[in-house]
């Protein structure tokens, strides 16, 4: 495994660990999700260059579009939960209450 691939795998692993262990604030969970998407976007954008396949060049752009939609929805949820609950702590959010 090349050092470049190891750095991508370790970045994804660290962001997964951050999402698993630092779940106190919604903004930290959103940042971990964005770092996971970024650590997947960079290898996907380099993979067609390494393999010289032009058919997969659209995949990183689609992933970036989905990542932008996910970030917008996450920030909308952050603003809505902060307005209704007063903070972005995840333990204040209960999915069973309407």
39-87 tens-digit pLDDT:
999 888 888 888 888 777 888 889 989 999 999 999 998 898 888 888 8
Predicted confidence (pLDDT) at residue 98 exceeds the cutoff of 60? no
Q: Measured in whole angstroms, how far is the alpha carbon of residue 4 from the centre of its chain? A: 20
- Kindly indicate whether the domain formed by 1-90 is annotated with CATH number 3.65.10.10: no
The distance in angstroms from the start CA to the end CA of the chain is 49
Percent of the chain with pLDDT over 70: 95
Phi/psi at 25 (5° precision): -115, 150
Q: Report the distance separating Cα 51 and Cα 54, nearest Å.
A: 9
Band (pLDDT 50/70/90 cuts) for residue 36 is: very high
What is the average per-residue pLDDT within 10-20? Answer: 93
What is the average per-residue pLDDT within 9-36? Answer: 90
Percent of the chain with pLDDT over 90: 36
Predicted confidence (pLDDT) at residue 2 exceeds the cutoff of 60? yes
Q: List C-alpha distances in Å: 80 to 32, 64, 69.
A: 20, 24, 16
Of 16, 9, 30, nearest to 81 (Cα)? 30
Please tell me the least confidently modeled range out of 17-26, 29-38, 49-58, 77-86: 49-58
Return the number of other C-beta atoms located less than 10 Å from residue 13's C-beta: 12
Q: Report the distance separating Cα 39 and Cα 50, nearest Å.
A: 17
């Amino acid at each position: 495994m090349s050092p470049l691939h190891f750095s991508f795998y370790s970045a994804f692993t660290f962001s997964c660990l951050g999402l698993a262990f630092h779940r106190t604030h919604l903004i930290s969970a959103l940042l971990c999700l964005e770092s996971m998407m970024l650590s997947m976007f960079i290898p996907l954008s380099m993979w067609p260059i390494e393999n010289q396949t032009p058919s997969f060049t659209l995949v990183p752009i689609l992933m970036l579009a989905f990542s932008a939609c996910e970030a917008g929805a996450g920030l909308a949820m952050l603003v809505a939960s902060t307005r209704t609950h007063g903070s972005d702590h995840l333990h204040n959010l209960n999915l069973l209450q309407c």
